[in-house]
Amino acid sequence: MTTNWRKSSRSNTENGACVELASLPGRVGVRDSKNPTAPALALTPASFRTLLHNAKAGNLDLP
């Protein structure tokens, strides 16, 4: 099975710093485009929604 990784058209393409996503069976794959051979995260859809919500709300910003 081939995994089709996607990244946003708004991603920073100058230095390759992008988050890529993939639809996996029952999961959402998340990986760093700079290191595509490293292990990816495989989140449940609910966990992925929580991650997105917290990122958009600024709850994950560093001090």
What's the angle, vertex CA 11, arms to CA 20 and CA 27, rounded to 5? 20
Q: Is the pTM higher than 0.75?
A: yes
CA 12, distance to chain mean position in Å, is 14
Per-residue burial over 51-63, b if 16 or more Cβ lie within 10 Å, else e, is beeeeeeeeeeee
Per-residue pLDDT reduced to its tens digit, 13-47: 677 678 999 999 999 999 998 899 999 999 999 99
Distances (CA, A) of 26 to 32, 38, 39, 47: 20, 21, 18, 12
CA distance 27 to 25: 5
Domains in the chain: boundaries: 1-5+18-62
- Position 41 scores a pLDDT of 97
